[in-house]
Amino acid sequence: MTDLYEMLGHGYFAGVYLDEANRKMAFPKPRWEAAGTNRTCRTGVAACRSCGADHTVTAGVTDEC
């Protein structure tokens, strides 16, 4: 267990903690799962036609600037 604590201390597993009662590593939910989005979505950067600002867009999802 001390090796795992050292690895956690060095940042090898971001957001993970050790559940010693159940002897397991507890991982946080991925952002796409927590947000309820589909992880197979394609994203990209697009420029706004009105103001020219760059925005991250998801294929098949409408959004406003």
DSSP run (H or E) holding 17: strand 17-19
13-60 pLDDT, tens digit each: 888 888 888 888 888 776 655 555 555 667 888 888 888 888 888 777
Domain count, the chain: 1
Whether residue 1 has pLDDT greater than 70? no
In a domain, 36, yes or no: yes
In a domain, 12, yes or no: yes
Please check whether residue 24 is in contact with residue 30, taking contact to mean a CB–CB distance below 8 angstroms: no
pLDDT of residue 3: 87
In a domain, 63, yes or no: no
In a domain, 28, yes or no: yes
- Say if pTM beats, i.e. exceeds, 0.75: no
Give me the half-sphere count of Cα atoms (radius 13 Å) on the Cβ side of residue 18: 11
Please give the residue range of the domain that contains residue 40: 2-58
Concatenated DSSP letters for 43-56?
Answer: EEEEE-TTT--EEE
